[in-house]
Chain A
Amino acid sequence: MSTLSIKHLVKEYVPGKPVLKDISLDIEGRGITAIIGPSGTGKSTLIRCVNRLIDPTAGEIWFEGKDLATLSGQPLREARRRIGMVFQEYNLVERLTVMENVLSGRLGYMGAWAAWRRKFSDADIQKAFSLLQRVGLADFANRRADELSGGQRQRVGIARAVMQSPGLLLADEPTSSLDPKTSVEIMEIMRDLAADNNIPVMINIHQVELGKRYAERIIGMSGGLVVYDGAPDGLDGEVLRKIYGGQDWLAT
């Protein structure tokens, strides 16, 4: 059985103008699945529909035996805590410390009163610190998030997502705000942490080369539809033209 099964997903922000037109996908096992496609084609919308930061218009999203599209309230929050998310602009809470940001990955597992008083268990704190060591930021644990560089912030963002003990990791253009070298480092951290935890990663990416290098599967989207779904090797000029349109940009 696949980890995540999306069936006939449709999202319309304006009635009659669907951004996502009937998307069906299965994500399973482990490894990175990269979604590529031009800006405005609904990649972010698709990712955000999965953890219901955006409500889909129609379709089903099956994850761990539940259709996420139908959940709300407590059941939705319980499903959400099993889905880690990494954001393009990191979305750390700037005025909290690095440690607090990582620990916020546990909020779905504790009550609000405990959260207000920062009553995290020793096991959570140990795990958070180990994750910070893993991403090379243990020395920054007590620093405020807004003191960090972009690459450092994204490492904290990944640590926060993994802190949730997720069954699936989503990443919405995690490298788009970073330089090429840092982008590679971030991709490697995501790949390694996902492998450690034995979970699949679903990632939106603009840098096609980066996607081909780290993903085991590429999904090409265009105009709200999946136009390519297969191995990175299959991404030739013709497929890229189909995804992005035109051809001048492909000239070397």
Chain B
Amino acid sequence: MSATPTVTATAVTRADFFAPTIGKRLAYVGVLAYVVYAAATLGLSLERVQAGLGHGARFLAGFFPPNFTETDIIPGLLESLQIALLSSLIGTALAIPIAVLAARNMMPAAVSSAARLLIAFCRSFHPVIVAIIAVKAVGFGALAGIIALTFASIGFVGKLLAEAIEEISKKQIEAVRATGASFMSVIAFGVVPQVMNRFIGFVAYETDSNLRNSTMVGVVGAGGIGGTLFSAFQRFDYAFVAGIIICIIGLVMIGEVLQIYVKRVFR
């Protein structure tokens, strides 16, 4: 038996491991200062909030009783639903290959950077802005709405799916590659099983989000119930506005329930 060498304990204190960081403190102070500055320059004041509450109350009073009798609610809602489903489907179909190209563990840096740029481009504009451009390009109607929401879907599903692919276990991929499988077979047996669950979640969320957005792109003339809603606003027909809003809430809730059901079927 050899003797264990004696180790002299070194004296340490809390500060050796949890030293306060100047940078973090400066960041807190900076954020606080900016909030105060922003509120001051935008002229926010309590009086304005008080006056606004009064207007709001009169406006809400105009909602009652809601008016459902107008006949263009149902066709508008159906058009919104179609815009949402079609754009989700087309957007997801386009997002899948782009996501594979964007995943840095699947592709060389040059390819993934280019695909990432495309995804970032799709994500940089709000769907309504894309809808305005699409209306200019293809005219009023549902097609413009589908283009706008497809664009958004590519960005959303593409980004999240690319990140999901980057987080998969390399070991499982290595084993499938070692069998002599081709790239597409590695995707089928190594990548898809690892991301499928999350992918279904992304698509369900995206469809849900498209359903909400599809009720809005109509405001700029890109089809769906939004156009009806906007013209009711402009006529100060608040009872009809209330009717439309309640129908939209109903539609989104039905979508929510369907989403739970669809997830259960696919998992």
Contacts and interface: CB of A to CB of B under 8 A. Distances in A.
Q: How large is the interface on B (under 10, 10 to 19, 20 to 34, 35 or more residues)?
A: 20 to 34
A4 B233 CA distance: 80
A157 B174 CA distance: 13
Given A91-B171, A93-B172, A96-B193, A160 B179 contact: yes
Contacts of A110: 185
Contacts of B196: 95
Nearest to A87: B175
7 contacts: A80-B178, A81-B180, A93-B175, A95-B196, A104-B175, A104-B179, A112-B182
A91 B174 contact: yes
Contacts, number: 89
Contact of B180 (A94, A95, A164): A164
Tell me the dominant secondary structure on chain B's binding face.
helix
B181 interface: yes
Contact of A93 (B176, B182, B184): B176
B178 A53 contact: yes
A115 B178 contact: no
A218 to B, nearest CB: 25
Interface of A: 51, 53, 77-83, 85, 87, 89, 91-96, 100, 104-113, 115-116, 157, 160, 164, 248
Given A93-B194, A112-B188, A115-B189, A107 B171 contact: no
Interface in B152-206: 169, 171-172, 174-190, 193-194, 196-197
A108 B188 contact: no
A159 to B, nearest CB: 12
Nearest to A105: B179
B37 to A, nearest CB: 50
Given A115-B185, A248-B2, A95 B179 contact: no
Contacts of A160: 175, 179
B179 A96 contact: no
A109 B178 CA distance: 13
Interface string B125-163: 000000000000000000000000000000000000000
A83 B187 CA distance: 21
Contacts of A100: 189
Given A112-B184, A115-B188, A116-B188, A93 B193 contact: yes
Contacts of B184: 112-113, 115-116
A62 to B, nearest CB: 18
Contacts of A83: 178
Contacts of B177: 53, 80
Nearest to A109: B180
Contact of A107 (B172, B189, B197): B189
B180 A77 contact: yes
- 3 closest A-B pairs by beta carbon, nearest first, are A108-B180, A81-B180, A112-B184
Nearest to A157: B175
Contacts of A248: 2
Contacts of A89: 171
Nearest to A113: B184
